[in-house]
A and B are shown apart, each in its own frame.
Chain A
């Protein structure tokens, strides 16, 4: 169990800033996902931690030891690459034993065999040990790559988009396997992904990156419910939230008023929004923050423009009376159909307001 710390770490390529002063403290045994679009700095962060590139500035620590000048082979880490990077000229067995032999030339054959057998057993690779990587399926290659990382019981695991080359079903199964692996070995894991669903399901904490900067570092629930800024709000979640520019008003009960629409806000639930009454805000409205109803009593009127069935939910694309388009989640059993006149009630606790100029979340008491 080892902590990982970045303090003021900077990396530039010529004029391009890959990472602008990263501060990040990962607790021992944590599973941290580095999440962001391509070019956001997440892979740079991982490569810096692995020692594959050198930081321009700042300090990287693994377990309290400053590793800036430590070569990758001496950092006691293991990494799973996006393309697996299995040694094509070696069999599965030789791939698995490679890290053991690379570190200690004189390691006993019986020790190596016992360790390879154990890892192969855990990952179900027992029958494949004599095969070469090109004779394996993508999922099997993936497991060999995981096994090669596990075999040495390193202090920190680095995973670089390990599931992105697998098909959708297999990806979901491997997600569970990786989570089980983390629970079994308890090592610190740093996991790079651009897939927010992967980050949400796997990580104990997510570090969201954009444009070389850390945007937010918090638990998946916190990141989803209380995004720190508009970028995070937009990046997390199955579908893009609706972002509406307008104003919180207190006149006729608390309400959010935009030029093309209006949402009534329950005063008790909207306590976190009340302090910003009177100022312009951007409101982030996720589908689950709007409850559709048949009647329009006490609700804002809207017309269903389109219905999309997504498994357990029906997603309603609605037009508010003012003309603004919003998205609401409904139970398919309620049978809303295109053209229906409905009422929408905002679940104010699930709304987040942002400053229109800085994009930062507006929070009471901050």
Chain B
């Protein structure tokens, strides 16, 4: 961002202060240019593949692999998107949506109870429990996939949406508990004491006072679960095999089929899968940021 030169400023006759000299201005301009370049680079790295995918999804199948490649398609078409809907992609979208929403609700419900207990009750082993939760977060997901699959199979929940939703909840609970624990702890305890004295039980205090004041914390935690559940490929591809319970990322993977790569539908469905998450983030952006800073913003 460069700013228009404000023109010569009226100056006293004495030598200008050090921070107004020409060399200082040059350095400042240099720093700004450098910053801008870095921002552009980061944006290009992050957005480049998405833009490329979007461009590809609009090209007719015959031109996708054409050389030299076109960044802006010369003959844009929506045929791949149309194909997605005729082949029933909405079923996978619905599967993903159901699993994500259930996982978000379950992890917020269980997580807020656990976090409140950790934040406000005194009990033996609390510190150990907190450390345990942090430790759980550091276990890499792939390392538990196989045992989880065995477990899920033995309780009859493999290859089902219920199993997936429960797994996502289990994987994301530690971070949800940790985020909410921090947020609850930052709320003034007098509000809860007032509610107790006014006649609320513990659970009513949580419901009527703590949760309504924890919007940003709940949104931040919910978004963590949502993006994980919506985007997850690894867990779903291991746990789910039937067509009827496939989630969107697994379905997209299907376009890298045995008989060749359908780049058009692949990129088109990938674009579709990005949209809901972006929409939700834009919607809750304000809450998300204040939630991440641990309840520093309160009414």
Contact = CB atoms under 8 A, between A and B. Distances in A.
A89 interface: yes
Contact of B195 (A50, A77, A102): A102
B199 A81 contact: no
- Choose among A77, A78, A81, A102 the residue with the greatest number of B CB atoms under 10 Å from its CB: A102
A51 B198 CA distance: 12
A79 B188 contact: no
A134 B213 CA distance: 14
A132 B194 CA distance: 17
Given A73-B200, A85-B188, A89-B213, A102 B193 contact: no
Interface stretch (B135-143, B204-212, B269-277): B204-212
A12 interface: no
B203 to A, nearest CB: 11
Interface of B: 188, 190-191, 193-201, 204, 208-209, 212-213, 298-299
Nearest to B196: A72
B58 to A, nearest CB: 46
Contacts of A224: none
A87 to B, nearest CB: 6
Contacts of B204: 102
A72 B204 CA distance: 13
A132 to B, nearest CB: 7
A152 B199 CA distance: 10
Interface of A: 50-52, 71-73, 75, 77-79, 81-83, 85, 87-89, 98-99, 102-103, 132, 134, 148, 152, 158
B188 A73 contact: no
Given A81-B194, A88-B298, 18 more contacts: A52-B197, A72-B193, A73-B198, A73-B200, A79-B193, A79-B194, A79-B197, A85-B188, A85-B194, A88-B213, A88-B299, A98-B195, A98-B198, A98-B208, A102-B195, A102-B199, A103-B198, A152-B199
Contacts of B194: 79, 81, 85, 87, 148
Contact of B198 (A71, A82, A134, A148): A148
Contacts of B201: 71, 73
23 contacts: A50-B197, A51-B196, A51-B197, A72-B193, A72-B197, A73-B200, A73-B201, A75-B197, A78-B197, A85-B190, A85-B193, A85-B194, A87-B191, A87-B194, A88-B191, A88-B213, A99-B198, A99-B199, A102-B199, A102-B200, A132-B299, A148-B198, A158-B197
B-side binding surface: helix, strand, loop or mixed?
helix
A77 B199 CA distance: 9
B213 A77 contact: no
A73 B205 CA distance: 11
Contacts of B191: 85, 87-88
Identify the 8 closest CB pairs spanning chains A and B, nearest first: A102-B199, A85-B190, A103-B199, A99-B198, A85-B194, A72-B196, A88-B299, A89-B212
Contacts of A82: 190
B197 A89 contact: no
B129 to A, nearest CB: 22
Contacts of A102: 195, 198-200, 204, 208
Given A87-B209, A132-B299, A81 B193 contact: yes
A83 B193 CA distance: 12
A134 B193 contact: no
A83 B199 contact: no
Contacts of A77: 197
- Choose among B193, B197, B213, B298 the residue with the greatest number of A CB atoms under 10 Å from its CB: B197
- Choose among A73, A81, A82, A83 the residue with the greatest number of B CB atoms under 10 Å from its CB: A73
Nearest to A132: B299
Contacts of B209: 87
B247 to A, nearest CB: 36
Contacts of A79: 193-194, 197
Contacts of B190: 81-83, 85
Contacts of A78: 197-198
Nearest to B202: A71
Contacts of A103: 198-199
Nearest to B200: A102
- Choose among B190, B199, B204 the residue with the greatest number of A CB atoms under 10 Å from its CB: B199
Contacts of A152: 198-199
Contact of B193 (A50, A89, A99): A50
B214 to A, nearest CB: 10
Given A81-B190, A102-B208, A89 B196 contact: no
Contacts of B196: 51-52, 71-73
Contacts of B197: 50-52, 72-73, 75, 77-79, 158
Contacts of A134: 299
A29 B204 CA distance: 31
